[in-house]
Chains A and B, each alone.
Chain A
Amino acid sequence: MTIFKDLFFNVINVDIPTVIMWLIGGLLIYLAIAKDMEPSLLLPMGFGTILVNIPLSGAINQMNSAGQEVEGAIETLFNMGIANELFPLILFIGIGAMIDFTPVLANPKLMIFGAAAQFGIFFTFCLANIFFTDLEAASIGIIGAADGPTAIVVANQLLGEDSAITGAIMVAAYSYMALVPIIQPPVIKMLTTRKERLIRMDNKNASVSKLTKILFPIVVTIVAGVVAPSSVSLIGFLMFGNLIRECGVLDSLSETAQKVLANLITIFLGLTIACQMEAEKFLQPSTLLILGLGLFAFIFDTAGGVIFAKILNVFLPKDKKINPMIGAAGISAFPMSGRVVHKLGLEEDNQNFLLMHSIGVNVSGQIASVIAGSLILSFFG
């Protein structure tokens, strides 16, 4: 009997919240594998959620029988990589190296839609302010950046890693990014007529010189950095990655940043975020509210981009009209949102190729979302 007692003493520590968190972890793993939703993040997050919610889990800090704190591996990784924002910023180097800004450099007018589609961030901030404090509302609003690393950096800087709602914000940011193909189409269709969705746009490609591509990340860093100096690392790391890609003399570094570095950090990031998914912190009514507000942020981002394009169309000549669907790609969530819009265009007219425009708006959204994060940090940091 004593052997059984020794071996299974932890079973009595399994309570209902623990089981709920295991199920949530299982759901994330299911969505990753069966539905192919952001598997590189949702799978480690799901597994990490199970890992940290095992009673007396050695993965997170615990008190031993002598009353001393024993450091857990995941919590150590969290303190080393997320609490100080190192992982998301390093991931930005990889993302920057992955992004080709040519479509937006060839047609810079598209940048304006990236700005318009950040409406959801600030509208959600106003909505969240009804229930939460300014800092919490700003951190919830940034879910609308549709950019995980930005959400982590902003939430961490504004709330600190010990906040009860940081975990929910991170989960919402990544889950909704995965759900972009489900969230955006109905919103776009609701706000546009079939006639508008059929608008064809000029596909001629202006060539962009190599020097412009090299100067672009440097200029963007300086401009955005001067406006929001406290958060220059956000845009700086993204643009540094892009400079590695475009300079033409660091191909092996660019390839490493795009693949090995980004993959490595993604593994650690996903697993480590789960540190915020302990039952006590996560199973709160506020979590549901944050998930709801996050959904609002994505919807209003999409609506902001589409409605802005419709307003512009009022002033444009008949042959220069913009397909308002491309405004929705300004939500960031690169490159998924650009592809969603392109696919919607093809559904309406199989000869209407919007990819160049939607990806151009999409990369603009990536820059604009980082600028939005920077501005929020400037306002509240």
Chain B
Amino acid sequence: MFNFDFTFNPMDFITSLPIMGKGMLGIFLVIMVIYVTIVLLTKIFKNK
């Protein structure tokens, strides 16, 4: 019943590092855009 069909390729760790970089960069960029937007919103619509 066991289906032990996965492979073991340590080099795949290295080859997938660029995706990690792209993903982390993507998250930081989106978060920075949201951050700037929040700061602007807070400044424009601050409680008087």
- CB distance A130 to B8 under 8 Å? yes
Q: How far is the CA of A376 from the CA of B27 in the complex (A)?
A: 11
Task: Give, as a whole number of angstroms, the nearest-CB distance from B11 to chain A.
Answer: 8
- CB distance A223 to B37 under 8 Å? yes
* Residue A381 is within 8 A (CB to CB) of chain B in the complex: no
Determine chain A's interface SS by DSSP, over half rule. Answer: helix
Task: Give, as a whole number of angstroms, the nearest-CB distance from B2 to chain A.
Answer: 6
Determine chain B's interface SS by DSSP, over half rule. Answer: helix
> Which of B6, B20, B45, B46 sits near A126, CB closer than 8 Å?
B20
* Residue A328 is within 8 A (CB to CB) of chain B in the complex: no
Task: Give, as a whole number of angstroms, the nearest-CB distance from B26 to chain A.
Answer: 5
Q: Inside 8 A of B41's CB, which chain A residues have their CB?
A: 211-212, 215-216, 219
* Residue A43 is within 8 A (CB to CB) of chain B in the complex: no
Chain B, interface size category, equals 35 or more
Specify the chain B residue showing the minimal Cβ separation from A110.
Answer: B35
- CB distance B3 to A371 under 8 Å? no
A272-296 near B? 1/0 per residue, CB < 8 Å: 0000000110011110010000000
* Residue A178 is within 8 A (CB to CB) of chain B in the complex: no
Q: Inside 8 A of A111's CB, which chain B residues have their CB?
A: 31, 34-35, 38
- CB distance A122 to B19 under 8 Å? yes
- CB distance B1 to A17 under 8 Å? yes
Q: Which of B12-34 contact A (CB under 8 A)?
A: 12-13, 15-17, 19-20, 22-24, 26-34
Q: How far is the CA of A208 from the CA of B13 in the complex (A)?
A: 44
> Which of B7, B9, B23, B45 sits near A379, CB closer than 8 Å?
B23
- CB distance A371 to B1 under 8 Å? no
The contact sample of 6 A-B pairs, CB cut-off 8 A, is A127-B13, A207-B46, A211-B41, A215-B41, A215-B45, A367-B31
| Chain A contact residues, CB within 8 Å of chain B | 17, 104-105, 108-109, 111-112, 114-115, 118-119, 121-123, 125-127, 129-132, 134, 137, 164, 206-209, 211-212, 215-216, 219-220, 223-224, 227, 279-280, 283-286, 289, 364, 367-368, 371-372, 375-376, 379
